[in-house]
Amino acid sequence: MSDILDELQWRGLVAQTTDEAALRKALADGPITLYCGFDPTAPSLHMGNLVQLILMRHLQRAGHRVLCLVGGSTGLIGDPKTTAERTLSPPETVAEWVNRIQAQVRPFLEFGGDNPATMVNNLDWTAPMSALDFLRDVGKHFRVNAMIRKDAIATRLASQDGISYTEFSYQLLQGMDYLHLYRTFGCTLQTGGNDQWGNLTAGSDLIQRTEHRSVHLMTTPLVTKADGSKFGKTEGGALWLDAEMMSPYAFYQFWINAEDASVIGYLKTFTDRSRDEIEALETSLAQTPFKRQAQKALAADVTTLVHGAPATAAVQAASEALFGKGDPAALDARTLRDAVAELPGGEVAPGDSIVDAMLATGLVDSRNAARRVVGDGGVSLNNVKIKDPEMVLGEADFLHGQVALVRRGRKTLAAARRSS
């Protein structure tokens, strides 16, 4: 276990620690008990949470004991954003999200065997506590002048709307979590994203004041794209881990389209590949970037980690089919639907001609142009070349009865969706 911190640093998983030398010694002398918290402020975890899950996997595999906290109480409040007050979700909604996130976390960690992870919910120790006990036993140890210096709090206090006492008190709840886990499980390390540093120090400070013991904190960097923009956001919103909120196909496409400047860092952070493997991919990226071997390895590994090997195989087959190298008829209905979701398209019906389909999907702007392109051999239907402009679409041409893929040239693809 003596080299785990070096490994985490090489993988870009360490931003700040309270005392690196002391933490390194504790990890080497271990095992230690650590925890990371996930608030159910949405029905799914996202890519920022995945970084924490991967960090916990590394530490568990190194022999350390892992506590995974899904915050049934802190999720009722949510940590303060720098922009505006959160909308509070109903308790029954938060309870449902707790269950969903607990189920989502389980595949990433080992909950059996010789060193099982433990799932905890802070509602279990927060709900029984009265307001008076909370103020006397926890609030007494916090200083308002220190609390208002936290970045998110300071920003909100300087805004026109300010901050509610509910969100202001969030750091007390999180601090109480660390104290409870320290007393109950002997937990001495809390991890989180680097933007959570202020909330994390609330817990270590509380333990210092009440137990007169120093404990550890470690944060991960906020992973960003090559242009410095925040990682985990796309035009459609967060990169969710739930397949219903972000399809495995869209998830895979995010990683396969990673920029050259970012892909090696992503491989270190998000995959289990060894240094030798990543160095080989880095060489390939430098010498033959057009092969995109690093991106392919990244997309396959992360999609398999999150969605499983069968889902990865399905989306790889869909990618091949959309690029004209596979049989789209072999795709299952859901993968096909996800793969064509972002394609330009239009509605056609059985009995319409290939010319009608090209016009409906916007591949051409006139019937004469469509006939000319078809006659020149520049059109395919479901990856089969069409040379007859009078060719009529039949029932079998609509894959799963839903859509036919119409391609002009090598790269321009559209979805001819069957009209209802």
pLDDT in tens, 88-131: 899 999 999 999 999 999 999 999 999 999 999 999 999 999 99
C-beta of residue 110 within 8 angstroms of C-beta of residue 62: no
* Mean of pLDDT values over 44-49: 92
Share of the chain above pLDDT 70, in %: 96
Domains of the chain: 4-220 (3.40.50.620), 247-340 (1.10.240.10), 345-418 (3.10.290.10)
Q: Is residue 233 pLDDT above 60, yes or no?
A: no
The percent of residues above 90 in pLDDT, for the chain, comes to 82
Side-chain-side CA neighbours of residue 241 (13 Å)? 25
pLDDT at 57: 97
Q: Tell me the DSSP string of 198-267.
A: HHHHHHHHHHHHHH----EEEEE---B-TTSPBTTEETTEE-BSSTTTS-HHHHHHHHHT--HHHHHHHH
- The dihedral through the CA atoms of 361, 366, 372, 375 has a sign that is positive
The pLDDT of residue 226: 67
Answer yes or no: pTM beyond 0.75: yes
Q: Is the pLDDT of residue 367 over 90?
A: yes
| pLDDT computed for residue 229 by the predictor | 67
Average pLDDT over residues 205-217: 96
Closest CA to 22 of 303, 183, 169, 215: 215
Asked whether the bond before 344 is cis by omega within 30 degrees of 0, the reply is no
Q: Which tens digit of pLDDT belongs to each residue from 277-327?
A: 999 999 999 999 999 999 999 999 999 999 999 999 999 999 999 988 889
Place of tokens 């398209």: 345
- Which of 86-100, 217-231, 338-352 shows the lowest mean pLDDT across its residues? 217-231
Extract the tokens encoding 239.
Answer: 């990169």
